[in-house]
Structure 1
Amino acid sequence: MSSSHVLVLNCGSSSLKFAIIDINSGAEALSGLAERLAEQAPLIKYKYNGAKHNIDLSAGDAHQVAIEKLVELVKQLKLDTHLIAVGHRVVHGGEHFTKSVLINDNVIDAIKQTSALAPLHNPANLLGIEAAKKAFSHLLQVAVFDTAFHQTMDKQAFLYAIPHALYTEHGVRRYGFHGTSHYYVSTQAHKILALPENNSRIISAHLGNGCSVTAIKNGQSVDTSMGLTPLEGLVMGTRSGDVDPGLFSFLVNQLNYSAQNVDELLNKQSGLLGISELSNDCRTIEEAAAEGHAQATLALDIFCYRLAKQIAAFIVPLGGLDALIFTGGIGENSDVIRAKVVSMLEFMGLSIDNDKNLAARFGNQGIITSQNTPCAIVIPTNEEWVIASDAATIAQEQ
């Protein structure tokens, strides 16, 4: 094994996703997830040489302990000598970062400053960075930002129609997220479809528990559905997406909700879960809908309608369409949702091919429409590869 591997860390508030990736081949030498951190029964699940294993942690163990256990595992498997860098996913870079950067004190300060815009994500990302710096002090640490890809948007796309001082003094604007995923699948689409990067119009739909759509013109993000936070835009697993801002006043003044109650409602109790009253898992809802569950059917209908409406709206900044990409857990696997959405977009020249749509699941990519221009295509995302690649590039430049 050559010294061409990067450790990728994606640190959430109660989880830590990790992988060691060979930047030459893209192969994962090790991958896994530490979950339920700082809670009861935390554990690390990992895959090595095709076999799955678990490491039990003690109740209350958090990120630092999980990374220490990960270090022990990496050394035990003799993978540590092959690492050249650690790449960190950071959710919110604000306007500070337009690309991935080598982490230093100034970068950490900027991530801290931006934490007010992503209070659930950036502090957790910082925990991972600090823990990794202690555990892998000999390695370069690189930050890769979800928001960076969207920094090419014009002001007409990213500003809200609110007092301008809120932007100039407090950074209130639309930032967008899932940028690493949108970037990856759009670059893959250019290769697969032989689209010239300097003359292409792509809409990328990243659909998972969190969902966003991005309009990509000539390789650059020109508009995206998420905003100041990941709450704006589409219906998601537990997030409402777009609602009337007046809902906040109604809930607070009429129903005596606190600001925290409203935040909890819109972020954790809404979306597919809130409508269906069953689950935030699309598979569960699809199964229930197939059995005639009315609210599950309604949840799918609302999800697909809002998605199709957003895709159609992005024809405006693009001036046309060459390709529509489906990616993310739902986008890559739900032939039901893809078929419903494409059927709503037939006026744009899209027409689903049922056999191709069924074939493009469970890791398989492919065009799912019967016409080639424009086309809808499924492309599995690989955010870890982008993080590893950026980290390796920056490390090799030092």
Structure 2
Amino acid sequence: MVNWKFAGLAGLRSVFIGEDNHMNVLVINAGSSSLKYQLLDVDTREVYAKGNCERIGIDGSFIGHSEMGGDKQQLDVALPDHKTAIKHVFEILKNVDKPIDGIGHRVVQGGWYFPESKVVTDETLGWVREVAPLAPLHNYAEADVIEICREMFPEIGNVIVADTSFHYNMPAEAHNYALPKEVVDSLHIRKYGAHGTSHRFIWRSVDEASNHTAHKVVSCHLGSGASLCAIQDGKCMDTTMGLTPLDGLIMGTRCGTVDPATVFYLSREGHYSIDEIDTMMNKQSGLAAISGVSSDCRDIEAGAAEGNERCQMAIDMWSYRVASQFATMVQAMNGVDTMVFTAGVGENSAHMRKEVVNRLAWMGVKIDDDKNAVRSDDPREISTPDSSLHVWVIPTNEELMIALDVKELLGK
């Protein structure tokens, strides 16, 4: 057990607030029982430190921390709440000896208030709490952390970067639901999407990497959470997640799109409560349920290679859903010229990329197996010269995207 004695706010401020030629941003991503952080130089893109606080409010909590690309160290500490966690983070960062010029907060649900990133004020923080019923496990914790940062360091500006912002202005025919208007209006029901910060970063990256020749892009953010996004010249035209991140693709533990009446059937015939169904669909379904082995694609690929039929079925269902909804994203733009794989599975699994592309062979999509097998931290094109569209693998960097927003907004 590691115990730290806090230096006090005055001592911490003397470390974190100072003169520097570059803008250093602390990016914070608070979950319901976790808190990830990264301190980076926006201009050089150098990451000074990063880590994660896990099992907040649960026994066995710890902090994993690394500096300057070094090995991660685990610190076993009691983390009864997010306030304690963020205090520990600031205490750890004190040893990095880099001033913090701004703090960026990833907020899962921006609701109807955040069509773009905004500087934190009493009003904008109130908005995060107001829309929290759309993402109760995340927004309340995120709002608490923002409030703590403001209290501890009122001299440092904070910025809210909502995951839903990039999708907010998609065409009305894509984001509206066919429900009674008075219900939709009173409860703000629409497709909000998620992973918007990642999709926005992918658009910027592929636009640059392709020398501005990519115009109709399907961004495939494929990880434990997964979504596709149709991006036409930088504008979101549609995405696969809906009112919540449960909709769309099959994910690690989320079921993705199912007949809405499944909920009623489970309630009436299975006698499950609404909370039990919520837990089932978000935490007990997806690849984990299909394979019976794991929610991790690496385990599922290994199982399929050993002849496990349920693991193979998980791969088949997952790739079928990605390919079919890829076609939906193409329709949103009336065409496509570029496909980008990103996030944990999209960046690292050549096999899963191949599975998806094989299902799109009817569209003329082809990838070079040798290029597909290469692993790199740099953007790389893996399609063949005769492919009907360009296929890229681009590592996402949501932290950098958030930091760039912080620099833009706080620099004004």
- TM-score interval for Structure 1 and Structure 2 normalised by the shorter chain: over 0.9
Separation in structure 2 between the aligned mates of residue 281 and residue 273 of structure 1, nearest angstrom: 8
Who is 1:167 aligned against?
184
Superposition deviation, residue 61 in structure 1: 2.5
Who is 1:385 aligned against?
400
Letter in 1 for 2:128: I
Who is 1:192 aligned against?
209
Report whether the alignment pairs 1:343 with 2:362: no
Separation in structure 2 between the aligned mates of residue 303 and residue 265 of structure 1, nearest angstrom: 18
Who is 2:76 aligned against?
56
Q: Residues 293-324 of structure 1, C-alpha deviation per residue, up to 9 Å, x if partnerless?
A: 01000001000000000001222111111100
Who is 2:158 aligned against?
141
Structure 2 residue aligned with 1:122, among 130, 139, 144? 139
Q: Residues 122-145 of structure 1, C-alpha deviation per residue, up to 9 Å, x if partnerless?
A: 112112212222232220010001
Q: Residues 134-183 of structure 1, C-alpha deviation per residue, up to 9 Å, x if partnerless?
A: 23222001000100000121110001111111221110110110000000
Report whether the alignment pairs 1:356 with 2:375: no
Separation in structure 1 between the aligned mates of residue 273 and residue 406 of structure 2, nearest angstrom: 42
Letter in 1 for 2:326: I
Separation in structure 1 between the aligned mates of residue 174 and residue 38 of structure 2, nearest angstrom: 35
Who is 2:286 aligned against?
271
| Paired positions, count | 391
8 Å CA contact 1:85, 1:141 repeated in 2: yes
Superposition deviation, residue 348 in structure 1: 1.8
Report whether the alignment pairs 1:109 with 2:129: no
Superposition deviation, residue 196 in structure 1: 4.8
Separation in structure 1 between the aligned mates of residue 68 and residue 168 of structure 2, nearest angstrom: 39
8 Å CA contact 2:363, 2:388 repeated in 1: no
Superposition deviation, residue 50 in structure 1: 3.2
Letter in 2 for 1:126: A
8 Å CA contact 1:352, 1:369 repeated in 2: yes
Letter in 1 for 2:62: L
Q: Provide the aligned C-alpha RMSD in A.
A: 1.3
8 Å CA contact 2:47, 2:68 repeated in 1: no
Structure 1 unaligned blocks of 5 or more: none
Separation in structure 2 between the aligned mates of residue 39 and residue 334 of structure 1, nearest angstrom: 32
Change (3 A) 1:131 1:285: same
Separation in structure 2 between the aligned mates of residue 86 and residue 124 of structure 1, nearest angstrom: 16
Letter in 2 for 1:202: V
Superposition deviation, residue 373 in structure 1: 4.8
Separation in structure 1 between the aligned mates of residue 109 and residue 64 of structure 2, nearest angstrom: 27
Letter in 2 for 1:355: D
Superposition deviation, residue 21 in structure 1: 1.0
Superposition deviation, residue 364 in structure 1: 4.4
Structure 1 residue aligned with 2:257, among 213, 226, 242? 242
Structure 2 residue aligned with 1:97, among 110, 114, 117? 114
Deviates more, 1:250-259 or 1:38-47: 38-47
Letter in 2 for 1:368: I
Separation in structure 2 between the aligned mates of residue 295 and residue 69 of structure 1, nearest angstrom: 43
Who is 2:269 aligned against?
254
Superposition deviation, residue 349 in structure 1: 2.0
Please give the residue correspondences for 1:275-314 in structure 2 after superposition, counting only pairs within 5 Å: 275-314=290-329
Structure 2 unaligned blocks of 5 or more: 1-19
8 Å CA contact 1:67, 1:135 repeated in 2: no
Separation in structure 2 between the aligned mates of residue 88 and residue 48 of structure 1, nearest angstrom: 20
8 Å CA contact 1:87, 1:141 repeated in 2: yes
Letter in 1 for 2:132: S
Separation in structure 1 between the aligned mates of residue 23 and residue 365 of structure 2, nearest angstrom: 42
Report whether the alignment pairs 1:208 with 2:223: yes
Who is 1:71 aligned against?
90
What TM-score do you get using the length of structure 2 for normalisation? 0.92
Letter in 2 for 1:370: T
Letter in 1 for 2:245: P
Separation in structure 2 between the aligned mates of residue 300 and residue 76 of structure 1, nearest angstrom: 45
Superposition deviation, residue 49 in structure 1: 2.8
SS at match of 2:136: coil
Who is 1:24 aligned against?
43
Separation in structure 2 between the aligned mates of residue 28 and residue 373 of structure 1, nearest angstrom: 38
Superposition deviation, residue 69 in structure 1: 1.2
8 Å CA contact 1:71, 1:135 repeated in 2: no
Q: Residues 212-250 of structure 1, C-alpha deviation per residue, up to 9 Å, x if partnerless?
A: 000001110010000000000000000000001111111
Who is 1:86 aligned against?
103
Superposition deviation, residue 41 in structure 1: 1.8
Who is 1:329 aligned against?
344
Q: Residues 95-121 of structure 1, C-alpha deviation per residue, up to 9 Å, x if partnerless?
A: 211111001111111111111111111
Question: Identity of counterpart residues, as a percentage?
Answer: 38
8 Å CA contact 1:333, 1:362 repeated in 2: no
SS at match of 1:121: helix
SS at match of 1:314: helix
